[in-house]
Structure 1
Amino acid sequence: MAKPKVSLGELEERYQHEDRGVGQERNDFLLPQILDFVHQKKWMNLQPEYQRRQVWDNKKKSQFIESLLMNLPIPPVFLFEPEYSRYEVMDGQQRLSAIVSFYSNRFKLTGLEYWPDLNGFSYLDLPQMIQRGLDRRRLSAVILQSTSHEKNDDELRRIVFERLNTGGQKLNAQELRNCIYSSEFSKLLVELAGYESFNDLLGMPRYTDNIIKGQISQKLAENIFFKRMIDCELVLRFFAFRKKSNIKGSIKSMLDRCMVTHLATDGDLLSELASDFRSRVGLAKDLFGGDAFKLKDFDKDQDKVSPPFYDAIIIACDRQFSNKDQLIRKGAELKLELEKALADEETYELIVGRANTAEAIKKRLDLVEKIFIGVL
């Protein structure tokens, strides 16, 4: 047995302290109760800032409702109680959202295998006996509480959320990052991801047209940039790569480090960061139009948004922003010079990011900036 770095007594003392730090309660809730709690906004926040976005389509929701109709075992949801009788969903957001959506008649059942005769039914369409039967179904909930005044609630959220989400649909790096480094800065990333010009340049539905009173359209919910928070990660890449001293290590470490750096950022500095991002996106659009972040995908013979190319363009716009008027006047020449550079196979390979080392990122950013400088 390896010799511990601390004494056995110290280990026991820590265990006693930690064991008293988290409390648990278990409850079963009828499905109509869940609907009431959510609608009254007295029970839970279905989408706290650290949760991922909706990823279940209507077929997946329907199959979950079918499981409830069949009275099959359903895993419990996990809730966190940051204050008395106020609950946040740590695990189970998709299940609870499916229940609320179905009871609110927002989708019709589809893709059912055991009950195919119910395909096309909303809750309101169901025979009353089946409605009553569904109303009797229960969902279990495990409620976690921080019982120690010394324990940081944010730390507890992050630890539990990360551990709970090691199974099922694995979270990508940005979804986990959004949980683990929850802050005003992480909220800003979500806000900026919805900037209309940015949505246009990514070729995705605009937030402003597709999120109405908190309801997300199916078109936006299924968009790959939105669905897995790729749009938020692209915003983060701007802030992570604009500072040359941060370009070291892996891309993941650069992005994580940027989140940590801005954990306490708020107020005027947040407003300044938001203004910087929007103005640089605006400059990219002025210079290159709607295809500012797109490169030819020769494998599929089509243009698509390239994150490494986006990095190079948005950072060049940032570094040379003081020359924006002159750059706009020479926009045609700039586009031509960039096209010439991309025609070179070696340059193309560097810009599209076949290599994602810190050194490759530096070279990519410097190369495109030199093209900008060359036309000035």
Structure 2
Amino acid sequence: MQDRNRGEIVAVRNVDLQVSPGELLTLLGPSGCGKTTTLRMIAGFQEPSGGSILIAGRDVTRVPANQRDIGFVFQNYALFPHLTIFGNVAYGLQVRQWPASDIRRAVDEVLELVGLAGFGERLPNELSGGQQQRVALARAIVIRPSVLLFDEPLSNLDAKLRVSMRGEIRRLQQALKITTVYVTHDQEEAMAISDRIAVMEDGRIVQLDSAEVLYRRPVSAFVAGFIGRANLLRATVLSVANGRASLDVGGELLVMPAEGVPAPGSPVRVVIRPESLAIDRSSAGPAAVVRSRTYLGDKVEYEVMFGGQILHIVRFNPAEDEAVSPGTTVSIAVAPTNIVLLPPTARFKQG
């Protein structure tokens, strides 16, 4: 890609991706990471400078978008304002010159499938945002595409409606068994709907796995910090013996499984999720000083200073939480298996 002011711009680098039939795979990452460019290349809206794109074994790298057998759901719905809901959904079938009776049957079926039966004669501006997104989804799936593509389809909806719509998208995708590639920057949305998630950073896929593996076993600090909340700690290895490794964190001791831990004296980085930590009332564990306590209804969040570094602790069921005031010295507890070693450098892992 060329820019007259900055010269060559590389939006995506060496992306190697295979999506299984019927799978919902999400491209997840911050703005500018290359996820939408990747999606647009699959769709045929942008041409890659190298490599190949295959759909069902057919090389479509140089095939126009309208000949790729794809359905595309846009972020802004992209409905025709002058057409009725029926006309919007029927448009792709009319272009394909389906018989009118078949179009009527197919559109009626898909409108019922997305919960819009009886809405066919309305115009888009007579519908809510969520209903318009359902129309966009119906238009994409009515042609029964080989691949269904979503470009941040829920970003214009309010938080409650996003949760409802993501469940609908997942339900329909599983019912129709359409191979799907979904783009979002919302990690919770990605975790809720995906079979696998490809996390992208600077135009590359840095980890491709299930939501659970990404959360529990991130391969880099970037993935750990982007998927959920994470405590990233610097430590030094004290000892490795009998399947356990002892770590020094600013004078405080943590114990974790020895697998992959380098020799004593080595600096390491580890990840601990906030919900894996607890405030230990026995005073037997490593010491920390409470900096703040925040009550959030369904949970309480603590921020503590531990070995010169800040830790976030989440306690669910606040009714059972004994409030600890800021400035109090407490002990913390964490199961060794909940401490995850990060590799020295980021690496790509496909699971």
- Structure with greater proportional strand content: 2
TM-score, with structure 1 as normaliser: 0.26
Higher relative contact order (CA 8 A, sep 6+): 2
TM-score, with structure 2 as normaliser: 0.28
